[in-house]
Amino acid sequence: MLCNKNLLIRYRLPQYEGQLLYFCVAYFGIICFSVAFILVSVLSVAFSHQWGSLCPAVPLRWCPSWFSTDYLAFGGSLIETAYTPWKGKGQFYAFFLMVGIVTMLMPYPLSWLAQRDYKKSKEKLVGGKLSDTEVEVSILKDSLAHLPVAQVLFSSSADYRPVMVIMEDRRVYVGLVSSIGTPSEASSAEEDFGLWPLMGGYCDKDTLEIVLDSEYPEFNKDTSPQLFMRQKNVFSVAPLGMNLEDIPFPHRRSAKSMFSVPKTELTFFALGYFAPRLARLAAKVLR
């Protein structure tokens, strides 16, 4: 429960595999059990008593002889009544039953304290207040520090800046990151991501020069199509500036992407321009 409740742990959990994952989960389980054991022990020493025999000097109306908060004795008697072989050991089992219950509840306060301390440290670093959403985004970004590709995609999505994605099959996409996976106990953020494509192309197999030969319709967040890809098929990712005309990499655009006029219109325009010359040349040949 602590691994799922605490974002500082949950977003980093996919980093661990096999036995290391089991040791990690066991480690946090031991923390919860240890804190619960200490807490129940302190509360039992402080409050699990028959108060009438402990305060004889106090007036009877303030400390009657029947007043008791000895919940261990009460729980032990219930256990012994329900299961007679445990007679004489009821308080022992009642104590560990309480420890088990508190252990199950510990992820909530421990997660809250850990995330509160993280929020305070980030607010001190940026010099201002942060919302819960901003804190969660910061935690997710920190959890991707060991995944450069995922971190670039996440930063580009948060800043709404275009990226250039080069796939293993040499296909190239330029666009805006629409979505990126959130780490969980079953998956990580490096699996899939979505992209709103603005331009497309390929890497020349001989020179490896980037050739942009496709332009997509004008971007609209509501109507533009999205491409969903797996990060394991990505060869390289590069963040770009807002001006896509100034791509800081060796590239060229094919004639198809440079002209917005269809080929048929260009053909008719050329025939119209050269038609008089072609007619005079044909006349000379016929003579």
Q: Over the stretch 20-36, which tens digit does the pLDDT of each residue have?
A: 888 888 888 999 999 99
Q: CB–CB of 175/167 below 8 Å?
A: no
234 has pLDDT over 80: yes
57 has pLDDT over 80: no
12 has pLDDT over 90: no
Lowest model confidence (mean pLDDT) among 83-87, 178-182, 272-276: 272-276
Query: What is the DSSP secondary structure assignment for residue 60, as one 8-state letter?
Result: T
- In sequence order, the 6+-apart residues with CB closer than 8 A to the CB of 205 are 170
**Is residue 281 in a domain?**
no
Regarding whether 96 and 60 lie in a shared domain, the answer is yes
Average pLDDT value over all residues in the chain: 76
Regarding whether 115 and 11 lie in a shared domain, the answer is yes
Regarding whether 88 and 12 lie in a shared domain, the answer is yes
Q: What is the mean pLDDT of residues 214-218?
A: 77
**Is residue 37 in a domain?**
yes
Q: Mind listing the pLDDT tens digit for each residue in 185-196?
A: 555 555 788 888
* Token pair 């919860």 in the structure block, residue: 32
Long-range contacts for 222-229 (Cβ within 8 Å, ≥24 apart)?
224/196, 225/196, 225/197, 226/178, 226/179, 226/194, 226/195, 226/196, 227/173, 227/175, 227/194, 227/195, 227/196, 227/197, 228/192, 228/193, 228/194, 228/195, 229/165, 229/167, 229/192, 229/193, 229/194, 229/195
Q: What is the pLDDT of residue 66?
A: 60
Domain holding 218, by residue range, is: 147-263
Residues in the chain, overall count: 287
Regarding whether 164 and 103 lie in a shared domain, the answer is no
Regarding whether 31 and 111 lie in a shared domain, the answer is yes
**Is residue 141 in a domain?**
no
- Closest to 152 (Cα-Cα) out of 163, 139, 140: 163
**How many domains are contained in the chain?**
2
At residue 103 the predicted structure's pLDDT band, cuts being 50, 70 and 90, is very high
Q: What is the pLDDT of residue 270?
A: 38
Q: What is the pLDDT of residue 62?
A: 57
Regarding whether 151 and 256 lie in a shared domain, the answer is yes
At residue 101 the predicted structure's pLDDT band, cuts being 50, 70 and 90, is very high
Q: What is the pLDDT of residue 38?
A: 95
227 has pLDDT over 80: yes
Helices 90-105, 18-47: axis angle to 10 degrees equals 120
CATH of the domain at 168: 2.30.30.100
- Furthest C-alpha separation in the chain: 140
282's enclosing H/E stretch is helix 263-286
Q: What is the pLDDT of residue 31?
A: 92
Q: What is the mean pLDDT of residues 260-271?
A: 36
200's enclosing H/E stretch is strand 192-203
42 has pLDDT over 70: yes
Show which of 99, 119, 139 is a domain's final residue: 119
Top-confidence residue, 264 or 155 = 155
Q: Mind listing the pLDDT tens digit for each residue in 117-166?
A: 988 888 888 888 888 887 887 887 777 777 788 888 888 887 788 888 98
Regarding whether 223 and 187 lie in a shared domain, the answer is yes
Dihedral, CA atoms, 240, 245, 251, 252, nearest 10 degrees?
160
Q: What is the pLDDT of residue 211?
A: 84
280 has pLDDT over 70: no
Regarding whether 242 and 153 lie in a shared domain, the answer is yes
**Is residue 210 in a domain?**
yes
Rounded to whole angstroms, how far apart are CA atoms 262 and 141?
44
Regarding whether 105 and 9 lie in a shared domain, the answer is yes
- In sequence order, the 6+-apart residues with CB closer than 8 A to the CB of 38 are none
Please give the backbone phi and psi of residue 271, each rounded to the nearest 5 degrees, phi first.
Answer: -65, -40
Regarding whether 163 and 237 lie in a shared domain, the answer is yes
**Is residue 72 in a domain?**
yes
How many percent of the chain have pLDDT more than 90? 9
Q: What is the CA angle 211-198-243, rounded to 5? A: 85
Regarding whether 159 and 78 lie in a shared domain, the answer is no
**Is residue 84 in a domain?**
yes
93's enclosing H/E stretch is helix 90-105
**Is residue 128 in a domain?**
no
- In sequence order, the 6+-apart residues with CB closer than 8 A to the CB of 88 are 80
At residue 271 the predicted structure's pLDDT band, cuts being 50, 70 and 90, is very low
Regarding whether 72 and 173 lie in a shared domain, the answer is no
User: Within 10 A of 7 (CB to CB), how many other CB atoms are there?
Assistant: 19
pTM: 0.60
